[in-house]
A = this chain, B = another copy of it.
Amino acid sequence: MTTPQELFERHRATLDQAVAASRQRGYWSPFAEMPSPRVYGETAAADGETAFKARLNKLFHLDQPAAGGFIGAERSPFGFDLGVTYPKPDLDALLAAAKTAMPGWRKAGPDGRAGVCVEILTRLNARSFEIANAVQHTTGQAFMMAFQAGGPHAQDRGLEAVTYGWKAMTDQVPSARWEKPQGKNPPLVMDKVFEVVPRGVAVMIGCATFPTWNGYPGLFASLVTGNAVIVKPHPAAILPLAITVEICRAVLGEAGLDPNLVTLAADSADAPIAKDLATRPEVALIDFTGSSEFGNWLEQNARQAQVFTEKAGVNTVVIDSTDDPKGMARNLAFSLSLYSGQMCTTPQVIFVPKDGIRAGGEPLSFDQVVQAIAGATDKFLSDAERAVEVLGAIQSDATLKRLQDAHGLGAVALASRKLDHPKFADARVHTPLILVLDAKDEEAYGQELFGPISMIVKVDGTEDALARATTLARGKGALTAALYSTDRNTIAAAQDAFTEAGVALSVNLTGGVFVNQSAAFSDFHGTGANPACNAALCDLAFVAGRFRVVQTRVPAAA
């Protein structure tokens, strides 16, 4: 057995670096993002695939309280059933077990808990290939993205949550001597102890597109602060989180702690349990990523809990001018294509002035801007074998239907095409649809259309574009915004406007940084300052309410 305190000593240097990184917000990551054999081991890729395949068409055993029976009906968007089934949860038993497990976890203390959490993340990192396969074949992400976003980048976000939680819990000393002068009389002297206590049972409700990247922050923020966590995956993406729960439980058990601090509550689309679970009085914390509709429901109805939501919105791009039109078009083409636009950060609306823009010192008409973006996208995806490694597959029937229905919303600048996947015959691969709409068509472009659907909207000018973009952000929410402008005053005005609207802004991206990507320890994902989400990944507000400090004071022995 390795004690929590020993794990803390083992990972202390990482935690210290992580705290510094969270403050300095430069580039930092302890987990290698390239699936390189030199880092992960010569056999890691093959081992991970083998481990994944060994999971298929089997029961996934977890030694946790269960009702009996198994459920699960995941299907890979690349065209096959996973056939994995999971223990059917008994919510009463899971909640009771979670409560029983917490006092021992509290006593491990902030340092011990942080040590255990970093150990879990380190184990998750070693299993990145297995998890990447699981992410790929539940979300439809292409392998490289499934590895990076589902593995090391998700682990980064998990570590970030551990870091903020540890930083917040240790903001005050664990004990202190208080000595108040009394003039000529002896001072009053008290010894005080400040103990961090959990809020209660936490529930993490996963999403279908980024089960680990969006799930780990809430899971680890709640866990490190002393709470037990019940993981409720999306029915379409259970496996990556089931593996995660398995690893959490193994590390907890090896550290002499109760594994029931982390349990899995899988459900099916036919018999969802999230509403029942989320409104249980024992549940004090909820993390949710998914639809605005259910996120808003949780915020309104799970009144007994603190609810952290990452929902959706309408992300916009404002094109004012550029000195690199080709770089701009290439950059946008990648952003619109990546994982078929199934990211909550993908731009949906691109505002372009009706009279065109200045591009590299030359005028570019509205139609030319449209053509540049559509053309760059088409060209970028012209080689199907390469394209499928960017696009991945469409995760859900609903997104595919939305894509098909969207063709009628405007003039088609680039139609969506079905691509054949060279390795998976039944993979659901479709290129992005790009439409052209008029500013007055806000009913069409101002609704959230999750998936590979983008709309270039003709506006009066940049001022009009900024006004529309920030109004949409305030009304519908936005996780990202982008601006292209060569004018310093326009950039300043846009920065001010998007800051007031609570949207993170990326300016003049023409190279290898993309508006829909967000790096842990540097970029805050979401702001919590518009309807797209009520929390940011990851800041002090994300962790500070997950625990309480309870003090005891005793007169100091004379």
Contact = CB atoms under 8 A, between A and B. Distances in A.
Given A495-B193, A545-B545, A553 B523 contact: yes
- Of A303, A491, A499, A523, the most chain B CB neighbours within 10 A belong to A499
Nearest to A547: B541
A39 interface: no
Contacts of A510: 555
A22 interface: yes
Interface residues of A, number: 68
B190 A550 contact: no
Nearest to A510: B555
Contacts of A173: 23-25
A503 B180 contact: no
A548 B522 contact: no
Contacts of A182: 512
Interface in A492-530: 495, 498-500, 502-513, 519, 522-524, 527-529
Contact of A552 (B504, B513, B541): B504
Contact of A554 (B179, B508, B553): B508
Please state the number of chain copies in the assembly: 2
Contact of A500 (B180, B197, B500, B536): B197
B528 A539 contact: no
Contacts of A176: 24-26, 522
A56 interface: no
A495 to B, nearest CB: 5
A550 B495 CA distance: 10
Contact of A168 (B27, B505, B519, B540): B540
Given A172-B25, A190-B513, A510-B555, A197 B502 contact: yes
Which one of A193, A511, A512, A522 has the highest number of Cβ atoms from chain B below 10 Å of its Cβ?
A522
A523 B551 contact: yes
Interface string A176-219: 11111110000010101111010100000000000000000000
A548 B25 contact: no
8 contacts: A25-B192, A26-B178, A167-B171, A178-B522, A182-B512, A193-B495, A527-B549, A544-B545
